A and B are shown apart, each in its own frame.
Chain A
Amino acid sequence: MSDILVSEQSAPGSGGSGRPSGRLLEVDDLRVEFRTRDGVAKVINGVTYHVDAGETLAVLGESGSGKSVTAQTIMGILDTPPGFVTGGHVRFHGKDMLRMSAEERRRIRGEGIAMIFQDALSALNPVFTVGFQIAEQFRVRRGLGRAEAKKRAIEMLDQVKIPNAKGRFNNYPHQFSGGMRQRAMIAMSLALDPEVLIADEPTTALDVTVQAQIMDLLAELQRERQMGMILITHDLGVVADVADRIAVMYAGRIVEEADVYDLYAKPAHPYTMGLIDSIPRLDEKGQQLRTIKGLPPNLMNIPPGCPFNPRCPMAQPVCREKVPPLLQVGPARASACHFAEELVNRV
């Protein structure tokens, strides 16, 4: 019963399930589960979002909310087993990638959709030079010769503002600083000029000062190239500066989607409210930090009704019975809360 409800959810502006909608990249009612020895964890339970050229969608959520797994499914790098896609579509230019041949999907990686990862030290191959790993894209994917590929790789290093790019070409990842490594990672993922860039917590492993530099760089490159960008993060501060829209995830579902200003000004879901409330504030110095009480649900045993209900300060009996569908609650915004209307219309 609850499954049917959720599958009918439609995010603002996205086409209904099944038919192409002219979006650049569209995730439609995606479902993924992890089959482990201890049981089946329902990690993604009907996620729908999209991104168009030139816009940045931030996907916000706690660890375990399914934001990275959604990205891995889009890229086709989900570890199978344990991860299995059990339903939904991922459309790129209207074509469902989940139904493509392995070869077709491979060609989209890097050229159509590229991804940067959280920890560049482990994501870069430790035994090859940074230059080799960037030039590899030009050599293998574009068939360029060694010298030409090297030239292009140095240009990429220049574009991500690595000083002395030429001299750095032959360095190994461990010879780079954390920020430099993330820059190199960005250079590598942008080498083939992708239309969509997925950034999976690109600044989490970095110092605060470096975080801002990397975010600025990403925002700048996104603007210049008019890429669609999916920025996965749990950091509300990062989101505010660069995102156009925000999708908030909880327990493998989108619970709220809105324009960045609307979301901060008037969140339409108690979970989003809790997240914004828990940002440390300077004017409340000395007081205890606010948190959302409780823990995210065990994905092997998601509570019936709204998955957030055990932690929700507004929970009513209906929340324990019915899964709230993601419904439009205003121009270009949606919320999956039974009381979304009241939240939006409050003064």
Chain B
Amino acid sequence: MGRYLLRRLLQLVPVFIGSTFLIYWLVWSVPGDPFAGKCGERRCPDQYVAYMTEKYHLDQNVFVQYGNYMKNLLQGDFGQTFSQRDIGDIIATAYPNTLKLALVALAIEAVIGLGAGILTGLRRNGFLDNLVLVSTLFLLALPVFVVGFVLQWLLGVQWGIVKPTVSSEMRFSELIVPGFVLGSASVAYIARVARTSIAENRRADYVRTAIAKGLPMRRVVGVHLLRNSLIPVVTLLGTDLGALMGGAIVTEGIFGINGIGREVYRAIVTKESATVVGIVVVLVVVYLLMNLLVDLLYAALDPRIRYE
């Protein structure tokens, strides 16, 4: 176990370097002058351009640039935006908001998706089963922004049940609707995977054994059946958590949440290359760690998976 963890962590190093280098290289090689329009109507003074070129090492080759960037990064320095703001600060302000939204979305996925999956998996072809199948198909077919705008308009504007946008305090009650929107596609996936998994395992020999042991039905389902059926669902939830923590450009945009998705979008549009790189680096690390977590969780759920 310890050795496995160490090996997996070591594997992360080349992936981390490779992906961040690609990002760095791509972002800085986008055609166009990064300093165009930075000085209002007139052309930027040569002095300013020289200073900025020096500051971001733009006169050196991309490998040296990347090396410098990494050296600073490993010391916790994300660098500054073109307007002298610390990128680390931007991330530190925006990330907790994204995290909150991601956790709410995940909780909604787990509760609704898993609940619907278990109920329908146990009773296939009933009314509930058909309802879930149709509604999940609906959710899967609709793009997130449609679900988002429709719910915002319906619940927030027409019926006034919730506030249409999220305030800067990010209260939990305000995040339920955005969380649902963000998790809507995954809710549908999880419900379907859980349904199939439960229905498949329900006929398994070990479930029959558990019944033959005279265990109460809730124990047969809640312990013996569920534990086995959860394996694919947890994998899905875990990978999804990585994606959720990557920020939600659309959902954050619709509900006015100041999260990492919005920041990265803003940075791309304004050609703040350093900000884009900084945020993406964080997202890569988070995603890699989440993947590792899923693998560990997977093995904890299924003892047949060995760490060798």
Q: Of residues 171 to 217 in B, which have CB atoms within 8 Å of A's CB atoms? A: 203-206, 208-217
Contact indicator A123/B209 (Cβ below 8 Å): yes
**Any B CB within 8 A of the CB of A329:** no
Contact indicator B219/A140 (Cβ below 8 Å): yes
**Any B CB within 8 A of the CB of A188:** yes
Least CB distance from A125 to B in Å reads: 4
For the complex, what is the distance from the CA of A111 to the CA of B216, rounded to whole Å?
Answer: 13
**Any B CB within 8 A of the CB of A107:** yes
Contact indicator A125/B228 (Cβ below 8 Å): yes
**Any A CB within 8 A of the CB of B304:** yes
**Any B CB within 8 A of the CB of A122:** yes
Contact indicator A122/B204 (Cβ below 8 Å): yes
For the complex, what is the distance from the CA of A174 to the CA of B301, rounded to whole Å?
Answer: 15
For the complex, what is the distance from the CA of A109 to the CA of B220, rounded to whole Å?
Answer: 13
For the complex, what is the distance from the CA of A108 to the CA of B211, rounded to whole Å?
Answer: 11
**Any B CB within 8 A of the CB of A137:** yes
Least CB distance from B23 to A in Å reads: 39
Chain A residues in 8 Å Cβ range of B100: none
Chain B residues in 8 Å Cβ range of A339: none
Q: Of residues 94 to 128 in A, which have CB atoms within 8 Å of B's CB atoms? A: 106-111, 114-115, 117, 119, 122-128
Contact indicator B213/A110 (Cβ below 8 Å): yes
For the complex, what is the distance from the CA of A117 to the CA of B210, rounded to whole Å?
Answer: 12
Least CB distance from A111 to B in Å reads: 6
**Any B CB within 8 A of the CB of A212:** no
For the complex, what is the distance from the CA of A115 to the CA of B301, rounded to whole Å?
Answer: 27
Contact indicator B213/A172 (Cβ below 8 Å): no
Q: Which residue of A lies closest to B306 (CB)?
A: A174
For the complex, what is the distance from the CA of A75 to the CA of B212, rounded to whole Å?
Answer: 7
**Any B CB within 8 A of the CB of A225:** no
Query: How many B residues face the partner with a CB closer than 8 A?
Result: 22
For the complex, what is the distance from the CA of A192 to the CA of B215, rounded to whole Å?
Answer: 12
**Any A CB within 8 A of the CB of B224:** yes
Contact indicator B214/A125 (Cβ below 8 Å): no
Chain A residues in 8 Å Cβ range of B219: 140
Contact (A174, B205) CB under 8 Å given A75-B212, A140-B216: no
The residue in B204, B205, B212, B303 that gathers the most chain A C-beta atoms within 10 A of its C-beta is B212
Q: Mark A57-78, 1 if CB is under 8 A from B, else 0.
A: 0000000000000000001110
Contact indicator B212/A128 (Cβ below 8 Å): no
Contact indicator B214/A108 (Cβ below 8 Å): yes
Q: Which residue of B lies closest to A71 (CB)?
A: B212
Chain B residues in 8 Å Cβ range of A114: 212-213
**Any B CB within 8 A of the CB of A136:** yes
A125 in complex: contacting residue of B210, B216, B301, CB < 8 Å: B210
Q: Which residue of B lies closest to A111 (CB)?
A: B214
Chain A residues in 8 Å Cβ range of B215: 106, 136, 140-141
Q: Mark B291-307, 1 if CB is under 8 A from A, else 0.
A: 00000000001111000
Least CB distance from A35 to B in Å reads: 15
Chain A residues in 8 Å Cβ range of B212: 75, 77, 109-110, 114-115, 189
Q: Of residues 203 to 253 in A, which have CB atoms within 8 Å of B's CB atoms? A: none
For the complex, what is the distance from the CA of A68 to the CA of B305, rounded to whole Å?
Answer: 33
Q: Give A residues with C-beta under 8 Å from B.
A: 75-77, 79, 106-111, 114-115, 117, 119, 122-129, 136-137, 140-141, 172, 174, 188-189, 192
Q: Give B residues with C-beta under 8 Å from A.
A: 203-206, 208-217, 219, 224, 227-228, 301-304
Q: Which 9 A-B residue pairings sit nearest by Cβ, starting from the closest? A: A109-B214, A110-B214, A122-B205, A125-B206, A123-B205, A123-B209, A172-B303, A110-B213, A115-B212
